[in-house]
Amino acid sequence: MHVMDLFKLEGKTAIVTGGGRGLGAQIAQGFAEAGANVVVCSRKLEACEETAEMLKGLGVKALALKCDVTNEQDVEDVVRRTVEEFGTVDILVNNSGATWGAPAEQMPLEAWQKVMNVNVTGTFLMSRAVGQVMIKQKSGKIINISSVAGLGGIDPELMNTIGYNTSKGAVITFTKDLAAKWGQHNINVNAIAPGFFPTKMSEVLIERSKEQFLKQTPLNRFGTDEDLKGAALFLASGASDYITGDVVVVDGGMHAL
C-alpha cells in the first residue's frame, strides 16, 4: 500500500460531537477533505447545519443533528440516525466540551458537575453507544479531545479552571482504559491534547494572558485552523492502526517546558 493511501477515509463515516464550530469543525473538515462522510452534532443545531453544508461542498455526505451529550436518549438517537443514514460508524470524535473559571475554593458544585458531565460523562455515553456498533463490526477509531490542561497542574494566573483541568485528566485515563478494554475488538482509542487555539471557549482566556501563554510555547504562536486536522486524520486513518491508548499533544511544545 502506498503511504498516502494510509490517510484516505473514502467510504468511512465519522461522528464529531461539538462539530459545529471551533476545533470540532476543523476536525470535521479534515475528515471530509480525506473523503469521509461526517455527522456533526451539538446542542446548537444551527451551527452544525452551517458546518454540514460546508462539508457537502467538499463532495461528501454530511448530516447535522442536535445532541446534548449528557442526555442518554440524545446520544442513542444520534448513533441510530447515523447508522440508518450511512450503515455504520467508523470514527468517533468526542469533542464536545464545557469549562468554568473560578478559584478552587469558590467553585460552585453545580458548575463542577456541569463540566464533569459534559467532558467526562458525555465522552463515556457517546463511546458506549458507538462502541456497540464498532464491536459488532470488529473495527473502529475513537478519538477523545483532552487538553494540555489535563496533563498536570497549571498556574492559576493562567487557568483557574480546576473542574475543566480535572475532567480533561479523566478523559486521558478513560482513553487508556477503554483502549485496554476494546483492543480485543480491533477498536483503537486515542486522545488529542490540544494547547491553546483561539476558539469561542478560549478567546477570553487567551486575550487576558496572551503574552504569558506565548512565552511558555516554544513555537511562539497559538494553534491555527490547520494545526489539528493532521493529528486527527492520523488517528482516524489506517496510518495509526497499531497505535492505541496514546495521547497526541498538539500544543506548540508547551508541555515540553
Is 154 exposed, middle or buried (CB count within 10 Å of its CB: 0-12, 13-18, 19+)? Answer: middle
Summarised one tens digit per residue, pLDDT across range 128-147 is 999 999 999 999 999 999 99
Under a CB-based contact definition with an 8 Å cutoff, are residues 127 and 92 in contact?
yes
pLDDT score for 212: 84
pLDDT score for 196: 87
Given 31, 86, 112, 164, which residue is catalytic?
164
pLDDT score for 201: 67
State the Cα torsion 163-168-173-179 to the nearest 10°: 140
Domains and CATH numbers, the chain: 3-250 (3.40.50.720)
Q: Which three cell numbers stand for residue 145?
A: 479531545
Q: pTM for the full model?
A: 0.95
Is 137 exposed, middle or buried (CB count within 10 Å of its CB: 0-12, 13-18, 19+)? Answer: middle
164 as an active site residue: the answer is yes
Residues of the chain where predicted confidence (pLDDT) is lower than 70: 200-203
pLDDT score for 205: 72
